[in-house]
Amino acid sequence: MFLLFLLALGIFSKNNSVTAAVAVLLIIRWSTLAPYVFPWMKQHGLNLGIIIITIAVLIPIATGDVKFQELYTVINNPIGWIVILSGLLVAIFGGVGVELLKQQPHMTAGLILGTIFGVVFFKGIPVGPLIGAGIAASIIRLYEFIKM
């Protein structure tokens, strides 16, 4: 039932990524492949997804649209350093987020719900559940530290 709810939210929010992902999961779940595919996806899916996203991000370098000498322009510009720092923080938050989701996979439901709210109400783009998990884990750690 929860997947059907997420499918409806994905359709309602016009979030094609969530809609497609849930549809694929429903098809697998209702097929005889579920006992084979789900364990494999649970073990390797996150890494495969990160590889695909990394490939997509590196395409401009592979096509020659971004050249090595442009790195000089970036590092000699205050805006470039903001972008570098943002990339660094995203990588850190992503790593922390992966650990949170490994330790507490039930948090995924809240991340999906928050992502859908962000898409529906703020015209956001659903690209960062791992980053969201990393931010959440960092805030949780800060909260626990302050609470002590």
Tell me whether residue 28 is in a domain: no
Domain that holds residue 86: 67-148
Number of domains in the chain: 1
User: What pLDDT does 38 receive?
Assistant: 94
**Dihedral in degrees, nearest 10, Cα atoms 81, 139, 112, 52:** 40
At residue 62 the predicted structure's pLDDT band, cuts being 50, 70 and 90, is: very high
pTM score = 0.66
For residue 31, the 8-state DSSP code is S
Tell me whether residue 116 is in a domain: yes
Question: Residue 118, Cβ neighbours under 10 Å: how many?
Answer: 17
In tens, the pLDDT along 66-112 reads: 888 888 888 898 888 888 888 888 888 888 888 888 888 888 888 87
Tell me whether residue 4 is in a domain: no
- Cα separation, 127 vs 114, whole angstroms: 12
Tell me whether residue 124 is in a domain: yes
- Cα separation, 119 vs 144, whole angstroms: 29
Tell me whether residue 53 is in a domain: no
Give per-residue burial for 65-99: e unless 16+ CB within 10 Å, then b: eeeeeeeeeeeeeeeeeeeeeeeeebeebbebbbe
Question: Is residue 33's pLDDT more than 90?
Answer: yes
Residue with tokens 């439901």: 109
Tell me whether residue 10 is in a domain: no
User: What pLDDT does 130 receive?
Assistant: 67
Tell me whether residue 15 is in a domain: no
- Cα separation, 14 vs 79, whole angstroms: 33
In tens, the pLDDT along 99-146 reads: 888 888 888 888 878 877 887 777 777 766 667 777 778 888 888 888
Tell me whether residue 125 is in a domain: yes
For residue 65, the 8-state DSSP code is S
Q: Is the CB of residue 25 less than 8 Å from the CB of residue 7?
A: no
Q: Is the CB of residue 14 less than 8 Å from the CB of residue 26?
A: no
Phi and psi at residue 121, in whole multiples of 5°?
A: -95, -20
